[in-house]
A and B are shown apart, each in its own frame.
Chain A
Amino acid sequence: MSWLLGETDGWTLLTILGLACVTVVARSFFFILDKEWALPTWAQRGLQYAPIAALSAVIVPEIVMLQGQMIHTLKDARLYAVAGGLAYFFWRRGQGQAVLGTILSGMVVYLPLHIGLGW
């Protein structure tokens, strides 16, 4: 059973269930309560900037940092993979399965550099 359980951690399991609750609360936000209510205007305007900020805050350190330090080399497969993925996305103008194409074209760049050259 070790391949199944591995290093399973109780807190991580709770965190995952918490994320499932976050999905329910976010998707049902305005129809959880029976009473009609609305967010203040500034919060409504702020809503449109928070998701992209959250994504960017998670992504950028994962691309330009290694073990808590900025990378000082261009021999890093991640940089070229992201450039390749974005190039595909904007070439397709975000139409159709553009996100899937971003992943695939990014990995096509990433895997040879990472496995082949050790970048």
Chain B
Amino acid sequence: MFFLPANRRHPEYRRGFAEMAGVAPGIAAWGLMTGVAMVKSGLSTVEALLMATTVFAGSSQLAAMPLIQAGAPMWVILATGFCVNLRFVVFSAHLRPYLMHLPRWQRLITGYLSADLTYVLFTKRYPQPGVDAAQKQAQMAYLAGNGGINWASWVGSSVVGVVLANFVPTAWGLGFAGILALVGMLASLANTRMRWVSAGVAGSAAVAAFALPLKLNILVAIAAAVAVCLLLEANRSAGADTGEVAP
């Protein structure tokens, strides 16, 4: 963590910081837009500021906004946020051997601060977990510097976006930028044919089941898409009808 002096004094802290600084302007532009979208989706300034400073997960923030606006119950919003965040569950399995030497509270804070780009840059810099105390210390210092600047640029720019949004008329429809951000993320996830199937099934099911109360159409759609994809996968691996190669 960036608040531990042992991490801050280590040379790898600066390196982690520098490697993230190269992409920080992109993070900041996106954070700014998310801040504007939060206010334009109908959150009050206090709610938007709380979200900007604590949640630190753009996709789950953006996915939660239309649900909060529609008055969906808390558990549906949290379950949707968790599903959007499932990629981090996969990352956490990868990061486990790097972090298990830390006490639990430090693991949780390190996990919180390890968003997509931090995970990518960290595992690129350190393909293997450290074997001795010095290596582990260097890795934690890198992670602290890298995750620290990522958090700071995201939160700082989101707060600026929240404040600026109060001076822009709602009628302009800037909140739609939040949906476009989700479209961009969807496109970057759609890198296999089966994931396109998942998106297609979920989108159709969410519209078809729209009349369900409590925004349950979202959860129904996710369950339907995952079930269809697992069934198709099982069929394909049984090799019954196709010679298709998995993407």
Q: A: which residues have CB within 8 A of B?
A: 3-9, 11-20, 22-32, 34, 38, 42, 45-65, 68, 70, 77-78, 81-82, 85-86, 89-90, 94, 97-103, 106-107, 110-111, 114-115
Given contacts A27-B112, A58-B67, contact A49 B173 (CB under 8 A): no
Tell me the smallest distance from the CB of B235 to a CB of chain A, in Å: 13
Chain B residue contacts of A70, Cβ below 8 A: 207
Q: Tally chain B residues at the interface, Cβ within 8 Å.
A: 94
Assembled-state Cα–Cα distance A31/B56 (Å): 19
Q: List 8 A–B pairs whose Cβ atoms lie within 8 Å, in order of A's numbering.
A: A3-B45, A8-B46, A28-B111, A29-B88, A31-B107, A42-B230, A54-B202, A60-B206
Chain A residue contacts of B183, Cβ below 8 A: 59, 82, 85-86, 89, 102, 106
State the majority secondary structure of interface residues on B.
helix
Tell me the smallest distance from the CB of B202 to a CB of chain A, in Å: 4
Given contacts A99-B30, A102-B183, contact A55 B199 (CB under 8 A): yes
* Among candidates B64, B89, B202, B225, residue contacting A19 with C-beta atoms closer than 8 Å: B64
Q: Say whether A15 contacts B77, CB under 8 Å.
A: yes
Cβ-closest chain A residue relative to B107 = A31
Q: Say whether B188 contacts A100, CB under 8 Å.
A: no
Chain B residue contacts of A53, Cβ below 8 A: 83, 198-199, 201-202, 221-222, 225-226
Q: Say whether A58 contacts B207, CB under 8 Å.
A: no
Chain B residue contacts of A25, Cβ below 8 A: 82
Assembled-state Cα–Cα distance A15/B118 (Å): 26
Task: Determine whether B59 belongs to the interface, using a CB cutoff of 8 Å to chain A.
Answer: yes
Assembled-state Cα–Cα distance A22/B74 (Å): 12
Q: Say whether A56 contacts B221, CB under 8 Å.
A: yes
| Interface segment, one of B4-12, B94-102, B133-141 | B94-102
Chain B residue contacts of A115, Cβ below 8 A: 171-173
Q: Which of B53-111 contact A (CB under 8 A)?
A: 54-57, 59-61, 63-64, 66-68, 74, 77-78, 80-93, 95-96, 99-100, 104, 107-108, 110-111
